[in-house]
Copies of this chain bind each other. A is one copy, B any other.
């Protein structure tokens, strides 16, 4: 019994290039193809591919936006392929969540090698948990929903990001700086006041007794911890 070939989502609006990519990949991978950003996002949801090969120049959405949307719910490696070779483009894509950036023209061999690297990285990851529970609270990373005792809880974007960061380090202490960096971006370091305000809001929404939190724990002088 052999493993099924990994599935690659190929996103490019130009048919000839898609054909080239398909030919390059076909010996080692199964492929799904999208010609627009919207299609890419929808197919990604549908097929949950092992990796995404993404051309930045799409007719409908900005490529960076696609990267961001994908990253918000999947850790699958994203290899960007682009005619734009400007350094600023590369930096924006890589910092936006892409895992590699290839400038056209490139060789088929290099593409395959970089794809192997990306898949090698992904294989080392622990299976991403999509649902996390503590107390009567349930967080679904895939659908971006939070429920308490079955009832949906509305969280603002910042509240949600903060909670996700804590979930991703469940049980561990997460330092003030890491939380700030993850939620407010670099440059917010030192603004621990944000954390105080937002942790209070999370507690009000998720803790039975927000004055005596059982899961969203303060580690004085260090950070916060989500106790499962």
A residues contacting B by CB (< 8 A) are 1-3, 75, 87-88, 90-91, 94-95, 98-100, 107, 109-110, 112-114, 116-117, 121, 124-126, 142-145, 156-157, 171-173, 175, 177-178, 189, 219-222
Contacts and interface: CB of A to CB of B under 8 A. Distances in A.
Contacts of A75: 124
A220 B1 CA distance: 11
Contact of A87 (B107, B144, B220): B107
Contacts of A98: 117
B95 A144 contact: no
A125 B124 CA distance: 7
Nearest to A172: B143
B94 A1 contact: no
A119 B1 CA distance: 36
Give the copy number.
Answer: 2
A3 B99 contact: no
Contacts of A172: 142-144
Nearest to A189: B2
Given A220-B157, A221-B1, A222-B1, A109 B121 contact: no
Contacts of A142: 172
A85 B193 CA distance: 49
B95 A109 contact: no
Counting chain B CB atoms within 10 Å of each CB, which of A1, A113, A220 scores highest? A113
Contacts of A145: 173
Contacts of A100: 100, 117
